[in-house]
A = this chain, B = another copy of it.
């Protein structure tokens, strides 16, 4: 399978005063999907902790095409767009399954840093292999 798919319902707290999901929460849905992927792929999170590295975002972009509302089922999909020695670019799409529409799409660029000192670092091979599974 070329990419990772996740499905969950919109929670009430995600909506704003227009009864639609707040724009910032699509980016949180994206991150949540990454987390689900790492978990399924063998725990990048514990690897990260052992090695003292993290993957902060240095760039995100998102376009919005259709709202999601409380109770709508959301399907998120992520896939690897580019992997270099020190960075990874992941694309994402959020679909409103209940309405059969694309809600949002975009990408994030993540870089590898040492958490002690917050310095750029080379992505360790073991973590690299995990990202490769997203292709």
Of the candidates B9, B23, B56, B71, which one forms a contact with A67 in the assembled complex, judged by CB atoms under 8 Å apart? Answer: B56
| A88 → B minimal CB distance (Å) | 15
CA distance A57 to B43 in the complex (A): 30
- Contact string, A61-76, partner B, CB cutoff 8 A, digits 1/0? 1111101011100000
The reply to whether B70 and A64 form a contact with Cβ atoms under 8 Å apart is: no
CA distance A27 to B61 in the complex (A): 11
Of the candidates B46, B59, B63, which one forms a contact with A64 in the assembled complex, judged by CB atoms under 8 Å apart? Answer: B59
The reply to whether B61 and A45 form a contact with Cβ atoms under 8 Å apart is: no
Q: How large, as a class, is the contact surface on chain A? A: 35 or more
The reply to whether B23 and A45 form a contact with Cβ atoms under 8 Å apart is: no
Of the candidates B27, B43, B64, B71, which one forms a contact with A45 in the assembled complex, judged by CB atoms under 8 Å apart? Answer: B71
Q: How many copies are assembled?
A: 4
Q: Chain A interface secondary structure, helix, strand, loop or mixed?
A: mixed
Of the candidates B20, B39, B60, B61, which one forms a contact with A23 in the assembled complex, judged by CB atoms under 8 Å apart? Answer: B60
Of the candidates B19, B27, B46, which one forms a contact with A24 in the assembled complex, judged by CB atoms under 8 Å apart? Answer: B27
Stretch from A28-36, A77-85, A89-97, A126-134 that touches the partner: A28-36
The reply to whether B58 and A61 form a contact with Cβ atoms under 8 Å apart is: no
Q: Which residues 42-62 of A sit at the B interface, judged by CB distance below 8 A?
A: 43, 45-46, 54, 56-62
